Structure 1
Amino acid sequence: MLTETQQQSLVERIRDIGHPEAVRRFFGLLKELIDIVNLPNGDARLAFSVRREKSAISADINFYQALRIQKPRRGEVEYHLTVKKTCRDRLAAVEELVFEPITEKSDYVAVVIGQSNVHLLYQPTLRTCWEDCLLELVESNKRGPHLARHNRDIYEAAENEARLSDLVRLADDPTLGQNNGAQSLNGHAVEEPAAGYETTPTLPAQPHNLILFGPPGTGKTFALQPYLRDKNASLITFHPSYSYEEFVEGIRPEVIGNQISYRVRKGIFYKACLSAIQQAGYATLADCLNDQSDNRSRRLRQAPAHYLLIDEVNRANVASVFGDLITLLETDKRLGAEHELWLTLPYSQERFGVPMNLYVVGTMNTTDRSIALLDLALRRRFAFREVMPDPSVLGTVDEVDLLQLLRTMNERIEYLLDRDHQIGHAYLTNLETHADLCEAFRNRIIPLLQEYFFNDWAKIQLVLGDNPAWGKEPEQRLVWIKKKYTASTAGKLFGELPESYEDVVTYDINPHLQAGDYEQVPVDAFRHIYQRPNA
């Protein structure tokens, strides 16, 4: 059973730190540390302690400091995360980070982060360095015991959000524990003071779940760029082998020394939800879920938005990747909404919900045949916005009207195939010279047409105006007729007529275009795609 002395010393340190939000964020990190090292409360290798001389709360692993929070020395609360010295070079690009030696000869250093730069606690490279360091410290041969100074109350507060809330409230109001000692909090209904939130909603006026769809080259991925201009966005590209374990959470084996250990790894969707609730001032999802529903709704609706951007969303098996979270994506079932829902994750057994201020924006290429994997459940929960080619953004290159050229080719493609297989305007943007135009057709447009029409060169000729009836001169064509096989020529080729004989025509790409000899490719090869010769 926890002693009142242990609790009192922890409460005093929380009071010294004087920043409840920072304390909650620290205990969120402490919970992650517990999950990573996978050691029980009281294990000889683990010590969670309070340090009166530094007004700090610390986590040590095998006598090595691993994590610490302490009251302001430079005017603000500080977090200390231990990493290997070799990580300093990897983190050099993050200028705001401060490094402090732990001991003179130690192989480890503390990364010091002030409350004003608290977002750096979730910087991907730093988190990787810290997590790798924790696993190494567990395997260190410099063992405890730490039992003489291990404060079990800190461990329990990291594992139990309700217990942590009690301790924070007691630190804020010491009178709560005066009558009945350590257990008095359990009988009190303590109201958290309301924060001074603005009354005007700040969430953007767009669907919570949005998919931009259309042919390739229409600017769908480019449309994601504005979301990436600030730090409130996460980007992922789906692929056919992407899974729920990578997206939300899963167990992954790791080799430390000669031993294999298994730990729960959080995926980008979980981290995006965590980032979103941190915008509302919560340290962890558990803190958000433990808050009163009215207060949670108000805070999430007033918080800045966080965006999860998914490029090529239909390339993965979306139903498998999202799993049972597909229901939580609905706007009215998100945390902070009227009919909010949450569930228990299968691996970590944590409660989980999707916050109101998280926006999911995906892109989808309509020419990809995996579009069939988007089932009705997904379509019902996402808004779809078509992004089609916009020829109006194109100008003129070497007397070739790119607007008319693209419009004509797409009209022909839509007739021969469908509207989903058009060519996007991005294929013809930023072209300045005749050589640029030749490059675009040789390297991008003609290969795309080959894919669209499965090497049916007669149809490719129709799209490019290279069919004989259009009237181009032979040297003006981008796709040439290589040879026509009649009964006579086929007989000479094989010595006899094949059993399934029929007239065959073979094709070739303009050899000057293919060889990069662009000066020999006339301008009329492109102008006469949309303008019939002698018209």
Structure 2
Amino acid sequence: MDETARLWVQHSLLGDRSLTDPSRDGVWTVDVLRDLDRRFNGNPLVSGEGDGTFAGKWAIQLEHAGPELVLLAAEVLLVHFLFVGSVTYRGKLDVINATVAGTEVTLDPESVPMQAMRQGIGHPGVGFNTRRDLQVGYLIDFCLRLKELGRDERAVLLDDAWALRDFADKTDKPLREMRHIVLHLLHPETFERISSGRHKREIATAFGDLAETSGLDVDEQLFAIRDKLATLMPEGNASGQAIDFYHPPLRVAWESAGDSGEATGDLEALEWKKQIVLYGPPGTSKTYQARGLAETIIRRAALHRWGFKNFIERAELVEAAVAANVFWVQLHPGFGYPEFVRGLRLDGDRTRYHPGLLPSVVDRYHGQAFPDGLAALPVVLVLDEINRTDLSAMFGEAFSLLEAGQRGREVTLPGSNPDEQPATLALPEDLYLIGTMNEIDQSVETLDFALRRRFLWRECPFERETLLEIIQDRWAGAVRGVPYDYAAEQLARFADHAERLNIAISESAVLGRAYHVGHTYFADIVFFLGIWLSTRKSRPANGGYLWRQPRDQPQPPLLDLWSRSLKPLLEQYLAGVDDRDEQMDRFRRVFLGQ
């Protein structure tokens, strides 16, 4: 990959030659780039054109293009894909080969740049793939603006990492993942292997105490932090004595779930509001994300309050605090104020008021004691499925303490035992609340607006790329003897069909977006594939792991997933609907591809 970046600079950005065939000149010229910019950035197509896909629109925008423009367009996509590890090599090739299909342009699959696409060093996230138009548009704009400079000026700029950073930001195009990728490709020693602005901010926040970072932008902060980490961790935390923020023990101190793009992250939101709700359809990993977020809050506080040395050397103590300071409650209609705040319970032969879960969590915070005077750490209360009870009634007097500026204020709780002073409750600044909510839960209580405004909210939708990441994570443990790459092409198609099924659900007059099928339902395909493949002596012919080639018929694992997981769920959604059979038949055909 480094060699490809060097060739890109030498042949294409400083010169005008092709990236994949340096013997061919006149490709990366200002005129050809202007033509591509005019066709793409100057002619955005509406959502329905070109089948609504990037590839379809790209084909329309390149109609009647000459060979130099076609080759340039293909190589722009190559650079676009170079960093990406979340798209398979075959998937990258399909998009690039479709660009040159039907033209005289050919690409050498054995060239260094084409082979470099096999590597992939990062996962840019959902936004990178769903808004490929913005990513490619930024890349075209960057290259055109650079090429419009004189060669000597280009050479100086490309050699100066920070001047190049300023140049990269001087555009009216959205600064998204491609901005970070371009800077890393051109100066990997200065800019991190990070394609997310949010990740950069969260890392800088987590490790900012290690270096003097005031007055620096986020890239400069990370550079200073890395320099300090190199002295603290001389053996690195990744292969080749490298420092990598995506490897333990660094990763656990900053990473939270959610979109990895440029928007505000969950950790940032919690620092502001102290309360957040993750909501969406069932099976979209809300509980998993809530757990990870809760744990990261505590680990990051340990890093800040105990210092880097203690965070690394006392990792077991940190993890013990994580286990002790995260409280979890599954809410249900029978869980209310007496269980959460304060209620009467039998105590021998009499009834007495006893504290509920919330005061116990507060007591845990105040009762922390760590060795060597280490500071107390936050406590996190996760309220799973918050709309399955009357949340306002459950909070009672504590409701007002969720308001901004009310942490630390005491309220007196009703009812007191004869031999005790009236009970009071105050919520510490270090108490965080995370809620999860299934929008379609049929036993739900509505949340009033006064309660809603005390929380920040983040949707957890179905996302194709997230599904593929979950499948890849589970693959080795469920499918023996078959590398993931062997089935990657059909799994990518499987993710496409999952996405199409959810689109069909959105279009249903009686369902809609809230009834989307979540990742966890689709991810069971790994289990069914593992069972099926374990009974076979040979792998499926022609890579037909999910669809049998050449007739394109569904294989048993796909049929099992439909009949044992998806069909029962959708039938429940459509219970009592007059045209249930017709809708189920449509959903089946969309998902199975029949």
Which structure shows the higher strand fraction? 1
TM class by shorter-chain length?
Answer: 0.3 to 0.5
Give 1 or 2: higher helix fraction.
Answer: 2
Q: Which has the higher contact order (CA 8 A, sep 6+)?
A: 1
TM-score by length of 2: 0.38
Larger Rg: 1
